[in-house]
Chain A
Amino acid sequence: MIRFLATRTLGAIITLFAKSFIIFALIGLMPGDPLDLLAQANPDATPESIATLRSIYSVDQPLPDRYVAWLQAALHGDFGFSRIQHRPVLDIVVPALGNTLVLTGIAFVISTIIAVFLGTIAATRKGSWIDRAINLLAYAGISVPSFWLSLVLIYIFAVKLGWLPAGGMPHVGDGAQSWASHLLLPVAALVMVEIGGLTRYARSAMLEVLGQDYIRTARAKGIANGRMLLRHALRNAMIPVITIIALGFGHLFSGALLVENIFAWRGMGRLILEAIMGNDYNLALVCLLFTTAMILVASILADLAYTWLDPRISLGGRRR
């Protein structure tokens, strides 16, 4: 177990290093650097003064040298300053990451519970009207773009009915009610988009399990349906579903990018967009790295969940 965690953590760190270089190189290779923007904004800047500035900011150095310099600073905990916000990058990213985790975390838990529940019902009543209704709902969820759904939700609940705020963050020190009212619409938008595919997957995993011999055995034992589903079917069906859930976490993260922007939620999605649009490469780099780290953590958690669900899988390659 400890060996497994150590190997996986090491792998994650290597991935992060590789990813940091790739992002750094991609941003560095983008046409135009911050000083071009500066030069455009100031018609009085001479080529000489721009060149001086370039050497002050080390933008004239070759890309690998710049990467090494950045990495050395980063390893000492210095991720640089944001060009547009004039604050250390970490001071900006950490609260945004917190906001995103609140939003996606809640949406994640709710959509998983709903999808597994709907998938199970659809599988046990395969071919009935309720199965078809759930299928229709799932396909609607898959097909509807999140930005459109967000706009519709805002139009109905904020503009027409006026029940909920159209967007924004609760203020510091606000109570739970303010949090709930600000979270409700973006969470709903994310959940509706997310449950589509997950429900379909949970249904097919459940159908597969319900056709297994051990389910016939459970029936032959005279076990009631509810107990059979909970004790015998669900746990087996969850094993493949966990993979999709873990991968879906990355999906949810990128889905949050659009939804956060529409609802003006101060999270990573908004920050990444602002950073890239403003050529704030320090900020963009760190944002993308943090997002990668989150997805890596999710996949490690998924592997831990496997071993908890399935006794046939043992970590570290040793059979128990």
Chain B
Amino acid sequence: MTIPLLTAAALTVDLGTRNPVRILDGISFELQAGRTLGVVGESGCGKSMTALALIGLVPEPHRIGGSLRLGDVELNTLDAERRRLLRGKRVAMIFQEPMTALNPVVSVGQQIAEMLEVHEAASTSEARRRAIALLGQVGIAAPGERAPAFPHQLSGGMRQRVMIAMAIACRPQILIADEPTTALDVSVQAQILDLLLELQRREGMAMLFISHNLGVISEVSDEIMVMYAGRIAEQGPAAEVLARPTHPYTRGLITTMPDIRHRQRLLPVIPGAVPDPRHRGQGCSFAARCAEAEDICSEAVPALRGHLHRAACVHA
């Protein structure tokens, strides 16, 4: 078997220096070329932090432990300059809110062209020409006329297309999409998802797709990783996890998906909220909200059990 494109092994992230807080704990997964790993969980579960750790932009001050390998290169020990050159070139990222993620005072064409100038030493005119071609590729009509526009002159969907054009400019091997459709109108969400999937098929990119919306995740993912309070709750092939969820949290997420076929008076909820990572206690972090919790659950953090389809629950 070929080595995976990206391997995370027991990845940990601590923020702060004096009283470091463990934000991510024991994150392990593999990402193969052309495949999509969907990361799902509520706000504050560590999804975005996982993305920032992959791209090397965890806010300072921090400490990162464990291993993160791109092919056979260990990223966590790579020097800052070489790490920077990988960003955008081999691992690119799309953010949730395209309005604030694009620079308001630089034209969209220039923001895309900049990728080619930085990573491929393209001349200004060459970068400009390719930026216009990229705008066309992401489905923007009349790209030559749109290139000199500024972000505030475009619609939300168009802005996210610009973000995508920027991310794929250097044909990265891995695309991280952090809630790429969350800030968009529902009708535009589907268009952006289709665009991402089509580009992935054409370029053979691996994708790490982050969303709090299990519905979106189930549409795009080959594998699913369910995160809770900075740890993995459950992971495995998408069809497996969705059809036979073993962790109570995953089951909770699935039952809380609104179903359009049945009108419901009250939408089902998981009671409680994600615990603050500073006071997580020693047991399973989900125990306090879990209907199936027993005494044993609050004694020790359950290990991930299973082979391809794994869950961190004593009942699994």
Contact = CB atoms under 8 A, between A and B. Distances in A.
B153 to A, nearest CB: 8
B199 to A, nearest CB: 17
B92 interface: yes
Nearest to B92: A220
Given A219-B57, A220-B57, A222-B85, A213 B97 contact: yes
Contact of A232 (B92, B95, B106): B106
Interface in B114-136: 114-115, 118-119
A222 B57 contact: no
Interface stretch (A161-169, A223-231, A274-282): A223-231
Interface residues of A, number: 23
A72 B55 CA distance: 71
B150 interface: yes
B193 interface: no
Nearest to B110: A231
Interface string B52-95: 00010100000000000000000000000000111111001101
B118 A220 contact: no
Given A219-B57, A235-B105, A312-B150, A213 B95 contact: yes
B256 interface: no
B270 to A, nearest CB: 29
A173 interface: no
Contacts of B85: 222
B191 interface: no
A220 B163 CA distance: 12
Contacts of A224: 84, 118
Contact of B95 (A217, A311, A320): A217
A256 B103 CA distance: 39
B104 A311 contact: yes
Nearest to A233: B103
A78 interface: no
B88 A310 contact: no
Contacts of A177: none
A214 interface: yes
Contacts of B140: none
Nearest to B100: A213
A221 interface: yes
B86 to A, nearest CB: 7
A231 to B, nearest CB: 7
Interface string B203-221: 0000000000000000000
Interface string A280-320: 00000000000000000000000000000111100000001
B205 to A, nearest CB: 16
B296 interface: no
CB-based closest 8 A-B pairs? A222-B88, A222-B87, A213-B100, A214-B103, A221-B88, A311-B150, A220-B93, A213-B101
8 contacts: A216-B57, A220-B87, A220-B92, A236-B104, A311-B104, A311-B152, A312-B150, A312-B152
